[in-house]
């Protein structure tokens, strides 16, 4: 691992489009994220925070510069490495992206079965526990269509956390939640960092979360303009 | 079902859950696959019945070699063969016997329907050239203007056919000749006529005054035990000076007749195309169902990709769906097609039936077709980009 950082970004540049439409979205970003920390990426729309998040989460190919994730260089990484690394990550999307045909419990189980179906009973128990933690013990057999927006987001959070990921990438995870539920989720992420050393990188516009962040990184026009430790 | 599939796949049966999530769409998809199956089954059933009907008359006779005119593509078509070639063939040391076979079409004008009977004129004194079942029935053919009738003739009531016995014969007029039917045998309606009739060669000439004993439709030969019909046929082709004649083993003649019916005659070609169209319809239906399903779940698939699920996982889902559609679509298709074939058999008297071979072949074909459709549909999976989720 690059000097002990689970995430280390050096000289990262990224472009979108081709030919004359090619536009640089990220300009020489450097960032090291400490293990177990809760880092918040802020900035106006189009500032590049989501692009940085997807590059760090090996969801997008690194074009220029270096991104080290959990000790592996992502530039030039093949599909197998990307898949292996993704299995060590947890993603919480702004749109919950739950599978509509699966119950809440089955959606959470998908977060475990990516590691193989070793002990079915243990996986069921873990999934039930994760749903209980987000307050959905009584909604386990519900299909997403029968859950409210907040409940769906909590299922997505349980799905991201159930596999005990090393790093969690979250994009506006509290957008669909009321203030109390939102704070509960962020506190849970913070607690995971303290207990398990889970690193969280979160994109948010929610100012209420900032007080819980260990570090706030602000981007504008694809550049880091402010980097504040709490 | 869900638990069984989970046990089988070792993971959540996402394909099954996706398919059954929308019951209406699932039912429509299964109906589509079943429809394609019915199409293929019916066409195959007709093709099989054509094969059965084509080969049926070959079962009436026992021969090793058949000599026919150049244009005799089937037992009922083509010109005549000079009887002198029968005598020349008998000169071959391996040819032990021969007989002439005459073929014509007799119309039996009945009150309700005129039966078209494919009629064979044979020498009743040579029962060795007839199948054992037929040979037992031909004693009455020694009588003048006598015949025996196919009891399964289309348009002939079964009870009336059963009543035709030597003690209670029935007669009808053919071209001014009174033909008397003394018995029946098991034949079956085909595509060329309503049934078969067997008469002696002498009776045949009464029915067809223009025909001559010197020019039969085919010559049937039997050869010595242990001799190879193909070898003897090749030798006869050298021996007989008329090089236009088709001198083939009896088995080969039957196979060529069948091939001609299936690949050269319009009916055979149409039914063959019917099978292909059925398969194509099935392919398109399953592809449409699967590709729509993939498109509808792209964001979910992208989420799974982001979670680290490998490509084979997604392929597994699509193929799982393809197999479920194939298996569950086959069952109603099989049931409906069985009913349809039985109904068609009753109406047409053609030898239509659902056979095990046909069922296995269509089931395997359905699996293959669904898998191919699934394989094509998986191309849309590439569009599931996890980066688009943010």
B231-252 pLDDT tens trace: 999 999 999 989 999 999 999 9
A-B CB pairs within 8 A amount to 72
Residue B58 has pLDDT above 50, yes or no: yes
* The pair of three-digit structure tokens given for residue A32, joined into one six-digit string: 């090291």
Quote the CA–CA distance of A223 and B185 in Å, as a whole number: 96
Give Rg (Cα) of chain A: 18
User: For A12-70, how does the pLDDT look when each residue is reduced to its tens digit (9 = 90+)?
Assistant: 999 998 888 899 999 999 999 999 999 999 999 889 999 999 999 999 999 999 999 99
Q: What's A68's DSSP letter?
A: E
Is B389's CB within 8 Å of A95's CB?
Answer: yes
**Where does the pLDDT of residue B390 fall: very low under 50, low under 70, confident under 90, or very high at 90 and above?**
low
What contacts B178, CB < 8 A, 6 or more positions away? B145, B171, B172
Give the mean pLDDT of chain A: 89
User: For B65-80, how does the pLDDT look when each residue is reduced to its tens digit (9 = 90+)?
Assistant: 999 999 998 888 888 9
What contacts B21, CB < 8 A, 6 or more positions away? A100, A101
Q: How far apart are the first and last CA of chain A?
A: 24
Say if residue B209 is exposed, middle or buried (CB neighbours under 10 Å; 0-12, 13-18, 19+).
exposed
Q: Parallel, antiparallel, or unpaired: how do β-strands A23-33 and B246-249 relate?
A: unpaired
Q: In angstroms, what CA-CA distances link B361 with A212, B29, B36, B37, B47? A: 66, 21, 14, 11, 14
What contacts B280, CB < 8 A, 6 or more positions away? none
Q: What's A175's DSSP letter?
A: T
Is B310's CB within 8 Å of A83's CB?
Answer: yes
* The pair of three-digit structure tokens given for residue B137, joined into one six-digit string: 């029935």
CA angle A184, A109, B3 (to 5 degrees): 145
Quote the CA–CA distance of B372 and B380 in Å, as a whole number: 14
Closest residue on chain A to B299 (Cα): A97
Is B303's CB within 8 Å of A99's CB?
Answer: yes
User: For B204-231, how does the pLDDT look when each residue is reduced to its tens digit (9 = 90+)?
Assistant: 999 999 999 999 999 999 999 999 999 9
Binding-site residues on chain A for chain B (CB distance < 8 A): 50, 53-54, 57, 59-60, 79, 83-89, 91, 93-95, 97-102, 106, 109-111, 113-114, 117, 171
ipTM: 0.88
Quote the CA–CA distance of B84 and B212 in Å, as a whole number: 13
Quote the CA–CA distance of B205 and A51 in Å, as a whole number: 96
Contact at 8 Å (CB) between B46 and B215? no
Residue A2 has pLDDT above 50, yes or no: no
CA angle B293, B296, B298 (to 5 degrees): 105
Q: In angstroms, what CA-CA distances link B190 with B6, B54, B187, B349? A: 50, 7, 9, 8
Question: Taking a contact as any Cβ pair under 8 Å apart, which residues of chain B between 272 and 301 contact chain A?
Answer: 297, 299-300
Q: Parallel, antiparallel, or unpaired: how do β-strands A64-69 and A72-73 relate?
A: antiparallel
User: For B1-34, how does the pLDDT look when each residue is reduced to its tens digit (9 = 90+)?
Assistant: 777 777 777 778 888 998 898 889 899 889 988 9
Quote the CA–CA distance of A148 and B159 in Å, as a whole number: 73
**Where does the pLDDT of residue A117 fall: very low under 50, low under 70, confident under 90, or very high at 90 and above?**
low
What contacts A152, CB < 8 A, 6 or more positions away? A96, A98, A144, A176
Range with the poorest average pLDDT among A91-95, A131-135, B57-61: A91-95
Q: Which residues of B touch A83 (CB under 8 A)?
A: 308-310
Cβ-nearest to B11 among A53, A57, A113: A113
Helices (H), chain B: 2-9, 14-21, 23-60, 84-89, 132-135, 158-163, 201-207, 229-239, 250-263, 266-296, 298-307, 311-348, 356-377
Is A95's CB within 8 Å of B299's CB?
Answer: yes
| Number of other residues whose CB lies within 10 A of the CB of residue B114 | 12
Residue A180 half-sphere exposure, CB side, CA atoms within 13 Å? 2
Residue A158 has pLDDT above 80, yes or no: yes
B2 touches chain A (CB under 8 A): no
Q: How high is the pLDDT of residue B370? A: 85
* The pair of three-digit structure tokens given for residue A229, joined into one six-digit string: 């430790």
Residue A1 has pLDDT above 50, yes or no: no
Residue A3 has pLDDT above 70, yes or no: no
Contact at 8 Å (CB) between B341 and B354? yes
User: For B266-311, how does the pLDDT look when each residue is reduced to its tens digit (9 = 90+)?
Assistant: 877 888 888 888 888 888 888 888 888 888 888 888 889 899 998 8
What contacts A113, CB < 8 A, 6 or more positions away? A123, B11, B12
Higher pLDDT, B386 or B106: B106
Q: How high is the pLDDT of residue B67? A: 96
Mutant choice from B12, B18, B20, B21 vs A, greatest count of A C-beta within 10 A: B12
pTM for this model (two decimals): 0.75
Q: How high is the pLDDT of residue B292? A: 84
């Amino acid at each position: 691992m690059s000097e002990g950082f689970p995430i280390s970004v050096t000289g990262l540049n990224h472009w979108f489009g081709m030919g004359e439409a090619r536009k640089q979205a990220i300009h020489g970003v450097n960032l090291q994220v400490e293990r177990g920390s809760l880092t918040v990426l802020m900035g106006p729309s189009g500032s590049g925070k989501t692009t940085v998040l997807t590059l760090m989460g090996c969801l997008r190919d690194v074009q220029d510069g270096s991104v080290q994730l959990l000790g592996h260089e992502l530039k030039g990484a093949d599909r197998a490495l990307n898949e292996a690394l993704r299995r060590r990550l947890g993603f919480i999307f702004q749109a919950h992206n739950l599978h509509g045909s699966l119950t809440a419990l089955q959606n959470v189980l998908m977060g475990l079965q990516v590691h193989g179906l070793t002990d079915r009973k243990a996986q069921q128990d873990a999934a039930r526990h994760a749903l209980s933690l987000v307050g959905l013990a009584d909604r386990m057999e519900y299909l997403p269509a029968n859950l409210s927006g907040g409940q769906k987001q909590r299922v997505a959070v349980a799905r991201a956390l159930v596999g005990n990921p090393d790093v969690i990438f979250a994009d506006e995870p509290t957008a669909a939640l009321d203030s109390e539920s939102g704070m509960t989720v962020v506190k849970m992420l913070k607690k995971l960092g303290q207990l398990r050393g889970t690193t969280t990188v979160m994109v948010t516009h929610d100012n209420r979360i900032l007080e819980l962040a260990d570090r706030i990184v602000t981007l504008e026009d694809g550049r880091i303009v402010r980097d504040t430790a709490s | 079902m869900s638990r069984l599939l989970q046990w089988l796949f070792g993971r959540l049966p996402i394909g099954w859950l996706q398919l059954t999530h929308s019951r209406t769409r699932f039912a429509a998809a299964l109906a589509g696959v079943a429809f394609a199956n019915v199409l293929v089954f019916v066409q195959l059933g007709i093709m099989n019945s054509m094969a059965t009907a084509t080969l049926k008359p070959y079962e009436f006779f026992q021969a090793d070699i058949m000599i026919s005119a150049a244009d005799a593509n089937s037992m009922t078509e083509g010109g005549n063969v000079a009887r002198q070639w029968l005598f020349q063939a008998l000169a071959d040391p391996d040819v032990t016997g021969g007989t002439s076979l005459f073929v014509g079409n007799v119309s039996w004008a009945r009150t309700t329907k005129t039966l078209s009977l494919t009629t064979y004129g044979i020498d009743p004194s040579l029962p060795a050239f007839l199948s054992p079942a037929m040979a037992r029935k031909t004693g009455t053919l020694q009588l003048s203007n006598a015949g025996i009738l196919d009891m399964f003739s289309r348009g002939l009531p079964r009870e009336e056919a059963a009543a035709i016995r030597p003690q209670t014969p029935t007669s009808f007029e053919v071209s001014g000749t009174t033909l008397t039917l003394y018995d029946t045998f098991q034949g079956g309606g085909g595509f060329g006529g309503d049934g078969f009739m067997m008469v002696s060669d002498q009776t045949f000439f009464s029915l067809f005054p223009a025909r001559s004993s010197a020019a039969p439709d085919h010559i049937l030969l039997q050869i010595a035990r242990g001799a190879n019909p193909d070898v003897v046929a090749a030798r006869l082709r050298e021996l007989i000076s008329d090089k236009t004649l088709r001198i083939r083993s009896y088995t080969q003649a039957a196979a060529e007749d069948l091939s001609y019916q299936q690949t050269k005659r319009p009916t055979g070609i149409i039914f063959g195309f019917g099978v292909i169209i059925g398969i194509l319809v099935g392919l398109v239906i399953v592809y449409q169902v699967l590709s729509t399903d993939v498109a509808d779940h792209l964001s979910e698939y992208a989420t799974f990709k982001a979670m680290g699920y490998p490509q084979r996982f997604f392929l597994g889902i699509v193929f799982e769906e393809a197999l479920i559609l194939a298996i569950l679509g086959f069952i109603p298709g099989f049931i409906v097609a069985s009913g349809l074939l039985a109904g068609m058999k009753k109406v047409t008297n053609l030898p239509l039936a659902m056979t095990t071979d046909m069922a296995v072949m269509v089931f395997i074909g359905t699996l293959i077709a669904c898998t191919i459709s699934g394989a094509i549909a998986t191309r849309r999976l590439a569009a599931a980009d996890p980066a688009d989720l943010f």
